[in-house]
Amino acid sequence: MTAQPHGIVELDRVAVRYGEQAVFANLSLRLEQGSFTILTGPSGAGKTSLLQLLYLAQPPSAGRVFVLGRDLAGVKRAERHKLRRRIGVVFQEHGLLDHLSAFDNVALPLRAAGQKPKDYAKDVLDLLTWVGLRDKVAALAPSLSGGERQRVAIARAIVGKPNLLIADEPTGNVDAEMSGRILRLFQELSRRGVTILIASHDVNFMRESGARIIRLADGALTEGPPARAMEKA
Ligand SMILES: Nc1ncnc2c1ncn2[C@@H]1O[C@H](COP(=O)(O)OP(=O)(O)O)[C@@H](O)[C@H]1O
Ligand SMILES: [Mg+2]
């Protein structure tokens, strides 16, 4: 086996099928370390399904998936756990725990990694402040608005300093100012070497991002000038 560079993410002729329905087949994509990519395309095209392959939520129906240089087919259970810790994920449905506060939701990955509150409290507070939620630190997740939950989910995804960040429609519920703030955060992470893949319909976000834009439609990925990809988004 040839050694894979540490940071890369690659789909090699993958397929996703749900029963009889083929969402896509023979789909290939490579993300270099530190690259910032936005995946767009119509609703139902399979964007979420593609992201799920990369955060190890489901195996492909066919093909190979490499995450952070590892072929997932060869990754044992305990190792999957470790690999997942290096991946920050913002789910479309946010996936916050209802019985926990904003603070504890953000701290979750760090606690899971065995860190103590005194070690992470400042990082968690700083991040929550940065996403404009300093006064919501103690609020339980269900009492937050959609946009606030989304920002908690973003803070949680990045608090553990992941190598790979995957976000599914992360600016769906936030206003233009917050969307710009989130964009700058992603750009900064990308500069620091974090590989970022985001599913988005947000035309302004795409336009301002400077990111590589790829479009999934009718089972195929196309790459093109951002303007064209955005026109059809
Ligand atoms: N768990 C699932 N079981 C069956 N069908 C699914 C499942 N998840 C998604 N699909 C179907 O696969 C297609 C792609 O869905 P999805 O990946 O959510 O697309 P997108 O994120 O681009 O809107 C849709 O037709 C959707 O209904
Ligand atoms: Mg989706």
Quote the number of domains for the chain. 1
3-state secondary structure of 48: helix
For 45-65, write each residue's pLDDT tens digit: 999 999 999 999 999 999 999
State the pLDDT at residue 233. 53
pLDDT digits (tens, 9 = 90+) for 2-20: 445 556 899 999 999 999 9
pLDDT at 131 over 70: yes
Residue range 175-182: mean pLDDT, rounded:
89
The residue count of the chain comes to 233
d(CA 82, CA 140): 28
> Closest Cα to residue 118, out of 109, 129, 107, 127?
107
The verdict on residue 126 lying in a domain is: yes
Percentage with pLDDT > 90 across the chain: 78
| pLDDT beyond 80 at 231 | no
Q: How much distance in Å is there from the Cα of 56 to the middle of ligand 1?
A: 16
- For 198-226, the pLDDT digits (tens) are 999 888 899 999 999 999 999 999 986 55
The answer to whether residue 207 sits within a structural domain is no
- Answer yes or no: is 130 within a domain: yes
Question: Distance, CA 218 to ligand 1 centroid (Å)?
Answer: 13
**What residue owns the CA closest to ligand 1's atom 18?**
48
The pLDDT of residue 1: 47
pTM of this prediction? 0.92
Q: Which of 11, 16, 27, 48 to mutate to test the pocket of ligand 1 (most atoms within 8 A of CB)?
A: 48
Residue 222 lies in a domain: no
The answer to the question of residue 137 being in a domain is: yes
- Inside any domain, residue 105: yes
Q: Write the DSSP assignment of 123-182 as a string of letters.
A: HHHHHHHHTT-GGGTT-BGGGS-HHHHHHHHHHHHHHT--SEEEEESTTTTS-HHHHHHH
Domain span at 102: 96-161
Residue 67: pLDDT band with limits 50, 70, 90: very high
